[in-house]
Structure 1
Amino acid sequence: MRAFALALSLCILAACGRPAAQLQPTPTPAAPSTPTPFGSPSPEASPTPTAAHVFVIVMENHSFAQAMSGPYTAKLAAKYPVATEYHAVTHPSLPNYLALTSGSTWGIADDGYHRLPAGGLGSQLTAAGVEWRAYMEGMSAGCFNSPYPYALKHNPFAYYGSGCPRQVVPFTHFAADMNGEVPRLVWITPGLCHDGHDCATGVADRWLSQIVPKILATSAWQDNGLLLITWDEGVDRNNHVLTLVVHPHPMTRTSSAAYDHYSLLATIEDRLGLPRLGHAVYARAMTDLLQSTQTQSLG
């Protein structure tokens, strides 16, 4: 009988112990290493989207100081907001472009071609019914067969789903589109000379001085539009690059907040009313640089 009572006591103790183990706290999930195809909601409330257009120009391989040595670039920086502590996320070029368009580098550390799942910013825009176009300078034979100065590694949209979206077009379409119906998102990738990759800073700066005024002359930009100009990567491990936040009625001139390519993607997605992708979910959007002198906030 004593043995039976002891066994019964042990059984009761074991049964009571199980729920306590189940009440242990679960670890907080880390930021995702890969983006979801159509985004995840931001943990913070996104600003109310406007009907504004967003323009993006991605330049190449210059430090903050090198980019600022261009006279036209310096002129823009004197007039419009500058993110003074903006850093690229890695080296070399390709994973930075992927970060800008999907919120992840996908673990890629080279400039080769990688077949990624369908998704990214382009697919997100298409699914949401938002008109967009990516203008690739030098693209004369599609995404995969165009010669120099086009570079596939600077066309991130061709990596998602291993296809060439119809919205990715030669840069020769740009001028006509700026004089017509401007897409809600305009992405511009210069060729390997005009982006500063293969040519001097002065050459890239002069190219910007020809292209940016065409954007600023559009009603799409003048009516609450936003132009983001960034450099894909710096020249050292610090990866400190220039990013200009060009909008019509700036109130703030500089921000020393720590921003990166995920911040830029978050800013684009918030602006267009899209859920954030990948690490952009956890990024700080550049709202302090979007403050406007007008009553209606641009952020």
Structure 2
Amino acid sequence: MIALSTLLLLVPVVLAVQARIQLTHFQSGHRSNIAPQFVPPSEGPLVQSSNYVGSNNGSLPKPKVVSGKSFDRFIQIWIENTDFESANSTTAFSDLAKQGIFLDQYYAVTHPSEPNYVAAAGGDFWGMADDSLYHIPSNISTIVDLLEAKSISWATYEENLPFDGFEGFNFSSKNYLNTSAPDYTYYVRKHNPTIIYDSVASVPSRLALHRNFNDFAADVNASALPQWVFVTPNMVNDGHDTSIDFAGQWVDYWLAPLLNDTNFNNNRTLILLTFDETETYTANNHIVAMLLGGAVPESARGTVDSTYYTHYSTLSTVEANWGLGSLGRGDTNKTLSNVFSFVANATGYKNLNISGSDIPLTNITGTIPGPLNPQLYVPFTAPNTSAVGAGGGAVFVASGLNTSLTAAVVPSPVNLTALGKTVPWLGPRNGSTAATSNSTGSGKGGNGAVSLSDGIVRSAIFGITLAGIAAFLV
């Protein structure tokens, strides 16, 4: 009988071996000591394909357009883990930048991947420093609350999502790059920002707006693309499991032709193409970003904007454009949330001039206290309700949130790991069955503002498959 302590010591070895096995399976018959060759997953970005796994069940209804001050549609497309210099030297990205505004001082907010995605949806990464399966409680607000308050349509499109609203940790499907190899983990939940929040995932109508690329093709062809869109390529096309050149080929295949399709890109469409984080953690989190689309003023195309921006700028820019309320978090942090300049000019918002040594270090990870940091656990706190965001509206406060538990009175951080505990929000949300597709576990939601004295700090024990863990690794 092997002792539990021995098994625990073997876990990192098993994970590394499994990751190597999966990589070998991917390479087998497809490449040998060379980068994999890009294979289009479909005949075109608007042609449905079995490689996208889930079949389309019909398009969304055509949205009622809520006019913005600078744009009527905002589309974000995120690529993975690439240093500024590497991405900037890739032809596909440098060529696209000439068609829009190159944001040469754009930064991610932390490491690794998942907390950056979460921050772009909710204005905070809550101390998270890993890519685990979390469910952020339902009284924590997101951009979805702000959009729906003004009846602005939205959806996320995740390549290889098996069906609308799938909540699983990951999903493996046929390896279309190498049909003789085993199934490949193309979809991962950690790159699907809004589904990580229970305020979105626990509402069926919101959950259903997490769609795949077959849905995307149907929605664009039906002129039914929503006004706020988040697009995530799969794990090879976003460069995570391949290379920046591979991701560049996907951009050429998928995005370049869509720029000429008025159902996707009309004269009121703003597109942000960017990265989640740098590959090198020791350098500050400087990433390539560019603004494309018909909403970019003709006079600004081919120019460089050196204003300091972060992922929180995507929130503040949307808020400014539509005159929304705010989340009272990173989106209202004046230093971190400058509005894209041409939008700031149109809305009268005044950005801060931040450059050189004034640019904060946002490459730190694991040292920020928060409700998703087991070494520095503090409960979820209320937003800054007195903050004034770029949109000028009130701070959105979800029902059931303890507004008296603010950052000013939050208790000192607690090391849950030392106590043999995990954070309360680790694991699938209550009522989620799909979340156990490739991983199993227990984890309950509840009041986002809790304290250790409430006695509801719970542990979550996972039975994650090795295939799931391999895809979990950054």
Q: TM-score, normalised by structure 1?
A: 0.76
1:228 equivalent to 2:272? Answer yes
1:91-240 superposed matches below 5 A:
91-118=111-138, 119-141=141-163, 142-144=166-168, 146-147=171-172, 148-161=185-198, 163=201, 165-180=207-222, 181-212=224-255, 213-219=257-263, 221-236=265-280, 237-240=283-286
RMSD, aligned α-carbons: 2.3
Q: Deviation string for 1:151-180 (max 9, x for gaps)?
A: 111011111117271110112211221122
Q: Higher helix share goes to which structure?
A: 1
Question: Structure 1 residues 289 and 271, CA, compared in 2 at 3 Å: closer, same or farther?
Answer: closer
Once the 2 structures are TM-superposed, how far is the Cα of residue 258 of structure 1 from its aligned partner?
Answer: 1.2
In structure 1, the residue matched to 2:330 is: 279
**CA deviation digits over 1:52-97, x for unaligned, max 9?**
1111101100111211232221111122101101111110011111
Distance in 1 (CA, whole Å) between partners of 2:235 and 2:286 is: 21
Counterpart amino acid of residue 273 in structure 1: G
Distance 1:69 1:153, change over 3 A: same
Unaligned runs of 5+ in 2: 1-66, 173-184, 347-474
CA gap of 1:276–1:143, structure 2 versus 1, over 3 A, is same
Q: How many residues align?
A: 246
Post-superposition shift, 1:221? 2.4
76-85 or 118-127, larger mean C-alpha shift: 118-127
Higher RCO structure (Cα 8 Å, ≥6 apart): 1
Q: Distance in 1 between matches of 2:107 and 2:299?
A: 23
Q: Are the aligned partners of 2:267 and 2:293 in contact in 1 as well (CA < 8 Å)?
A: no
Correspondent of 2:102 among 70, 74, 82 = 82
Shift of 1:287: 2.1
Aligned to 2:55: none
CA distance in 2, matches of 1:289, 1:129: 21
Q: Distance in 2 between matches of 1:67 and 1:58?
A: 13
Q: Which runs of 5+ in 1 are unaligned?
A: 1-46, 293-299
Question: In the TM superposition, what is the alpha-carbon distance from 1:220 to its structure 2 partner?
Answer: 5.2
Q: Which one has the largest radius of gyration?
A: 1
TM value normalised by structure 2:
0.49
Give the secondary-structure state (helix, strand or coil) at the position aligned to 2:187: coil
